[in-house]
Amino acid sequence: MFEVNITNDMLTMAKAKSHDMGKLYNSITRGEGNLAGFIGEAMVASVIGAAMANTYDYDLVAGALTIDVKTKRTGKAPQPHYECSVADFNTKQACDWYLFTRVHTTLTKGWILGYLPKREFYKKAKFCRKGEVDLANYFIFKADCYNIKIEELWTLSQRLLPSTNIIYK
């Protein structure tokens, strides 16, 4: 995982897109996470040179790959044992990868945590039910979801991005 400074351009774009989107149907946070989500997408796009697509199925396109970026807000730097989530109602998204990010609540920095091909994610992830308590992270699940620890993700430095022939170190 690595840290990314959030630029004024990223923040301005994310605010405009968040305002335009409003509250999404089935949103766990009732639209409160939209801004962080768009910042996460902008961070990833700037690092890997992806184009923003913003469809229901995926957020970014890098060569022939479609990427859905999953972002959580945080007040501190993420740790390897923290978990990344995909809500159960999003399992049918037609994307190649899930790529996970965290955005600091100050909106000044964020982290690209890692990614997995969609099929690999569901092989490794654990299913968590709404209302269950995650004792390791002191968290009550707000919706059914699939979770995986950050340390189980592939980092951009570990893999060749197949469609772009770029290795990130």
Is the pLDDT at 107 greater than 60? The verdict is yes
Q: What is the per-residue pLDDT for 28?
A: 47
Q: What share of the chain is helix, strand, coil (3-state, %, to 5)?
A: 25, 35, 40
- pLDDT of 122-143, one tens digit each? 999 999 999 998 877 778 898 9
Q: pTM of the predicted model, to two decimals?
A: 0.86
Angle between helices 34-48 and 8-21 (to 10 degrees): 130
Domain residues for 55?
A: 2-167
Is the pLDDT at 5 greater than 70? The verdict is yes
From 126, 121, 109, select the one nearest 70 (Cα to Cα): 121
* Segment (H or E) for 167: strand 166-167
Contact by Cβ (8 Å): 114, 100 = yes
Number of compact structural domains in the chain: 1
- pLDDT of 67-82, one tens digit each? 999 999 999 999 999 9
